[in-house]
Every structure is written in C-alpha cells, then in structure tokens.
Structure 1
Amino acid sequence: MNGHTNTNGTHLPSTQKAAQFDPKTKSVQINNVPIPSIKPHEILVKVHAASLCHSDLMLFEPNEQGLTLGEDGPFTMGHEACGTVVSTGSEVKGFKPGEKIGWLPIVDCCFDCEECGIHNLYCERGTSKVQGMTVDGYFQQYCAIAWRNAVHIPDDMDLDCCAPLFCAGCTAFNAVTDTIFELKGEPSTTWIAVIGCGGLGTASSSIVEAIHTNEPSSGHLGIQYLKAYGYKIVGVDLNPQALKEAVNSGADHVFNPKTDTDYITQIRSITGKGCHAAINFTNSVQAYASTPDLLRMNGVLMVTGIPQKPLQFQAMDLSMTRFRLRGSNNGTTPRLEKCIEFSHKHGIKPHVTQFSLEEFPKMVELMEKGTQTGRLGVLFK
C-alpha cells in the first residue's frame, strides 16, 4: 500500500524528499526518507516553510565551540520552520490538527530543570540535540517536533515568511529586549548600534576584516524591533544593500566601514559620547574587538552572533565598567511566545527569498558566497 493513515485519519504518503547533510562527505543531498512516526510527546507537522540560517553552514566548517555536528549517517537539515499540526501524541497538550505553529529545535531535553529554564541546550540530562544540526530537521514536508517547543501562530500571520522568526526573529527579539533591560534612559534619547544589519561582506578596517552575520536578517529584524520600541539606531554593515534595508527599517544613521573610514568618530559625534549599547549580530572576532569603541562609558555590548574562534576582551575594561558584556540567544518557548506576539502586533516580517527543495544546494552556495540579503527559504505547498 502506498502511504499510511495517521492517527487522526489523515492519509499520508510513505516517503518524502528531504535536503540532507552527509557528515562523511560534508555534502548536501536530496534523498527520499520515511515520513516520521511520532512519540507520545511529539507533534507531527506538515511543514509550510523552512529557512536557511547561517549557523547551518557550521555543518560544513570546523568550529571551536565544542559542537559535535551530525551523527553516523545523513540527516535532514534545517532548524527554523513553521507549519500546521497534522496529529499529536498522547501526552501533547494545547495543540490540535490544523493549527498553525512554529517551534524551537532543541530535543531530548527535560524542559523542567534549572538549565532548561535558561536554554534547553544545557539540560542537566546532558542528552540535548539540535534538530537540523545533529538529528533530522525541517527541510522536508513532514517532521516530528517536541510539543513543548511549539507556539501558536495567529491566523492572520502569513506562513510564507514566518519561518525565520523561529531562529533569526526570536534571536533578534531577545537580543533587543535583553539590551533594553540593561538600559535606563528614555528610548527617544538612547542610541543603540546594530553591528551586522543583514548582509555579508569583507573588508579590512578597524571594526572588521570580515563581517559574516551569524543570522543574516537577525540584524535587519533587530532594527525593526528596536524601532518598534522607539530607540535611536545606528547600523554598521559592509553590504550596501543591507544598509539600504536598515534605513528602510528605521535606522537613523548607517555606516559602511569600507567607505566610512572614520565611522567610529562620526558615531561618537552623532550620539554624544558614544552609543548606550551595541548588539553584535556578526560572527567576526574583529568586529567584536572594535565594537567597544562605539560605546560610551558603561555601555552594553550584547553578544549575539557566534564567531568560530574565541573572543577576547580586556579584563580591566570589564572590571572598571568601561563597558558591560551580556549575551543573548534564541531562548526558550515562553520568550518565543512573546516574540511572536510582538511581531504580530507591530507587523514585523522577515525578508525571505523562496526556492524549491530541489534548489536547496543552490541556497547553500548562495549563503556561502554571502551575496544575498535577508533569508533564503523553501516553501512546501
């Protein structure tokens, strides 16, 4: 028999196509794979859209973060997606077939320990895995997810462009809200720098020899969130198109270190004594090393992008509170709910260029070249 009937009576095919990473060859393949069966704590989702994140490229590159990416055989890539509920396991609460949902990618965690309250990747069990990075992810039409990772998407939100909100979006939103938590002034007189506005590029300058955004569009989304909160924004990026989008999103001033060689002096002049905070979305060590020069005394440097190599800061700068160092990430489900609510209320949308699944290798190639702005995604229709 071709296909099988799901627990709620929905007839599904037996197999599907998936974009997979082969750890042995470090290559991408489009393979036929089974439709997953769900466990009691899981939801079977029909994926509507999935998007490619720059951190997906870590699969192809060595890293110094202690991450083990991939297990024995090929697995399906993708850790940000959205879709509709097909069926639910016996332990699932609050979700039913047909509902629109998005979700976070950490599985095999308990969700209840102290560590999970901060980030599920560090669950005290020590068994956490990342869908799309170590086990099957979402570049396939049907996937199984942990129900406690999921949140509802309002009916009037467009699923075509929602997928990036479930990594890039919540990362940017949490970076913005964590930064705001550290600040005391009125938004209308408080300056925040966004380093990495959504594009990629290379240069040799005081702030970067290479800016590669960890989340290509996190910076773009971060500007939208900051604008919605009413803050003054300075954008820094090497990609002219990304800076144009930053202006369209509400940035008050933008600078390209390639052409604005005195941009640090200009930014300090515009903001008075420097920015009150800077959110770095890049994975450039050089960008991080020079970001403190943009800050006034006791400014906040928010670490969001993750370079492959360790960052270094002067202990005296931190002990004397020349600047404060904070970190932010994609967070937990309660924070994801707030991100979706805020994005819906303020009409914040990612910019996504869509492809077919068969074009997935082309998407990876484009991201590796770093010539695109916004997100690259696949629509399953």
Structure 2
Amino acid sequence: MATNGTNGVQLPATQKAAQFNPKDQTVSINEIPIPSIKPHEILVKVKSASLCHSDLMLFESNEQGLTLGEGEPFTMGHEACGTILQLGSQVPTFQSGDSIGFLPIIDCCYDCPGCQIHNLNCETGSPKVQGMTVDGYFQEYVAIHWRNAAKIPSGMDLTTLAPMFCAGCTAFNSVTDTVAELEGVEPAETWVAVVGCGGLGHLGVQYLKAYECKVVGIDLSPDALEEAKAQGADFVFNPQVDGDYVAKIKAITGGRGCHAAINYTNSVPAYSSIPALLRTNGVLMVTGIPQRPLQFNAMEISMNRIRVRGSNNGITPRLVKCLEFSHKHGIKPHLTRFKLEQFQEMLDLMHSGKHKGRLGVVFD
C-alpha cells in the first residue's frame, strides 16, 4: 500500500536496503518499511550513497570504541545525497525539492560546546552514527535530522556527489586545518604529503592543489597513485617499490622534508613512517583511524620536532563551506557506480583495495 508524499508524490510502503547483521557480521539486501519522519526530520529520496573505508570497521575487531553488540540488522552507509520529499513540522529553511547532502550524527543536541567541535562529542545527548549502529543510507528513502543537512549548490551532480558528505568534507577539513597550522608559509612553497591516495586522498590532493600547494602522494596501490597523479599530485611514491622514497622526498623538498603530512589511511605503520618525511616543526595531521591505538615519540612532540593535530568530517557549518569551496574550484569525487543488488561486490572491492576513488550505489 502506497503512502502519500509531498506534493502528491506516491511513495511505496517498503524499500530494499543493504543491512548489516551484528550477530554474524554479514550483509544482506532486505525489504524494510519506508521511514516515517518526526517533526525535526526530513524525508529524502536518495540519489547516491557511497561506501566509506570506515564502514569496514563493522567487520573488523578494533580498539577505537566501536561497539556493535547483538542488536538487530541496520542499514549501512553514512555518505549520501538526494532530494527532499517531505519536511517535518519543525523544519525551517528547507523546501520540498531542495537538493541536499547530510552528516550522519543523530541524538545529539547540536548546541553544546562538544557539538561545536564534533557532534559525537555531545555533552548532553547520546549520539549515534547513522549507518554504524542505526539505519543509514544504503536505501532509497531516508529520514535525516534537518540540522545535519546542507543545500547543494546548483550545478553539482548528485549522481556522483555522495562521497562529499564524509570523504569530501573530511578531506576538505584536513586540508584547511593543515593550511591554518602552516600560517606564514606561502602555499606555493608548501610541500604536503598525502599518505593514502584512495577515497579520501584523491579529494585531499584536489583541495591541496586548489590552495596551490605542492603535493607528494604516497600509497601502496598503483591505482591510487595513478588517480593522485590524475588529480594533480606533483610526485607519487610507492614505499614497496621506491625503497628510498624518504630520501627522494627529502631531495625534492630541498633536503628538509615536507611541511605537513595528512594520513588518510588506517595503517599504524603508515603513521609510524610519517615523522621521517617531515621537516622540523612539521605537521602530522591525523585523519584515518586504525583499529589499534597509535604511539608517537614524546621527545619529538615535546621538542616541537613534529606537531600532531587531528581533523575529521566536522559539523554542518563546515560542510556548507566545503560545498561552496568545492563548487567554486570544480572539485569532484571519482565514483565507481553500482546497483544496490551489487552491494557485496562493491564491499569485496573495497576490501581488496584495488579501486580508484570511491565506490557507491546510484538509485534511479
């Protein structure tokens, strides 16, 4: 039985969704109800939803605080964009038909000091991540909190834009935070190493080049390095092939090393290798999250040999800036498209690391 949408649009009663089962860590395509919205929510017709490397944390043991428990299956995915179909009674600003993208944190207050840094830091609520513990976006219709939403500038292609709402804003924030740390250094004279040139890294390269920085791409995947070069990286290195890559990087940076390195990988060894790439007082930007805690040399930090900073996908005001900057500079994700029924194939490809850019589902 169909339900009425906004402006007479007829919605189906159910939809298919790619769901993760915490009990046995499997994924299946299930038939689930179309969500009904609360007064503060927006019903979105999803155009595209993309897979993030952090989604793989659902299948891996970790020491970083992700606890799945023995709950019921939930829909995966925390990167998506689409068009507004319905608005709750308490939703301001937006209109039916608006194209929006959105962040995935719910059950937070959005207003406390913690929420001004990241909504997972909420001091009054019990924040949850859509797609990680509650229903996410690998389904055609989703309900999202209006305060997570940002309007998409006219002319941006929703078909390939889903990665912008985690990978894109994370890469943008990591680059803008790095540039801010390097205040006083002319961007055209700034060397930044991008460690991990895949889903986040290929966007990080684009943002750095928009700032006119010099970029060194580092990855173990030839496909990822090829994509980094295509996006403007000045040099690329594969540590498994270029055994003396650190010396080569020192040589091209005038013997001193990079001003900064942004690590988009979840590799502890990758983090351990970064200090050797940096010049004195260089910035190590922590963005990728390994399954195990990191260790840094306290002497190097205490003596300002390196500076360790962190960046993430941020909050909605930063997402708005990301979209505006991306639209102005023509920055686009590289998305390989799949059907929802191909979800396991997409997941296997992500596990293999043999892909360029991002992988995502595009809905009709």
Question: Could you tell me the TM-score, scaled by structure 1's length?
Answer: 0.93
Other-structure match for 2:323: 340
Root-mean-square deviation over aligned CA pairs: 1.0
CA contact (8 A) 2:119 2:127 kept: yes
Measured in 2, the distance between the counterparts of 1:81 and 1:145 equals 11
Per the alignment, residue 236 of structure 1 pairs with: 218
1:365: which partner in 2? 348
State whether residues 70 and 133 of structure 1, in contact with CA within 8 Å, keep that contact through their aligned partners in structure 2: no
Counterpart in the other structure of 1:208? none
What is residue 133 of structure 2 aligned with on the other side? 134
Unaligned runs of 5+ in 1: 199-216
Pairs within 5 Å for 1:58-137: 58-69=57-68, 72-137=71-136
Q: Supply the distance in 2 between the matched residues of 1:230 and 1:126 (Cα, whole angstroms).
A: 41
Instruction: Indicate which of 225, 233, 239 corresponds to 2:207.
Output: 225
**In structure 1, distance between residues paired with 2:35 and 2:95:** 18
Q: Does 1:159 align with 2:158?
A: yes
Distance between the aligned counterparts of 1:327 and 1:69, measured in 2?
Answer: 25
CA distance in 2, matches of 1:338, 1:277: 22
Please give the per-residue CA displacement for 1:128-187, whole angstroms capped at 9, x wherever unaligned: 000000100000000000000000012211111100000000000000000000102111
**Post-superposition shift, 1:126?**
4.2
- 1:125 positional shift: 2.1
CA displacement at 1:10 relative to structure 2 = 2.6
Measure, in 1, the Cα distance between the counterparts of 2:218 and 2:158. Answer: 30
| Equivalent position to 1:331, from 314, 317, 321 | 314
- 1:344 alignment partner AA: H
Aligned length: 362
How many Å separate the matches in 1 of 2:14 and 2:110? 31
Aligned with residue 254 of structure 1, among 222, 230, 236: 236
- Report deviation, 1:6: 3.2
Q: Secondary structure at the match of 1:364?
A: helix
Listed one character per residue, the Cα deviations across residues 190-226 of structure 1 (whole Å, up to 9, x for unaligned) are 111110111xxxxxxxxxxxxxxxxxx2101000000
Shift in Å, 1:77: 0.5
| Identity, % of aligned positions | 68
Gaps in structure 2 of 5+ consecutive residues: none
Say if 2:250 is the partner of 1:268. yes
Q: 1:180 to 1:70 in 2, by over 3 A?
A: farther
SS in 1 for 2:8: coil
Residue 313 (structure 1) aligned to one of 269, 273, 296: 296
Distance in 2 (alpha carbons) for counterparts of 1:118 and 1:191: 27
* Amino acid paired to 1:266: K
Partner Cα distance (2:321, 2:25) in 1: 37
Matched residue SS, 1:116: helix
Deviation at 1:354, TM superposition (A): 0.6
Q: Residue 221 of structure 2 contacts residue 353 of structure 2 at CA under 8 Å; is this kept in 1?
A: no
Aligned equivalents of 1:6, 1:223: Cα separation in 2: 41
Give the secondary structure class of the aligned counterpart of 1:265.
helix
Post-superposition, which runs of at least 4 consecutive aligned residues in structure 1 deviate over 3 A? 6-9
Offset of residue 269 of structure 1 = 1.2
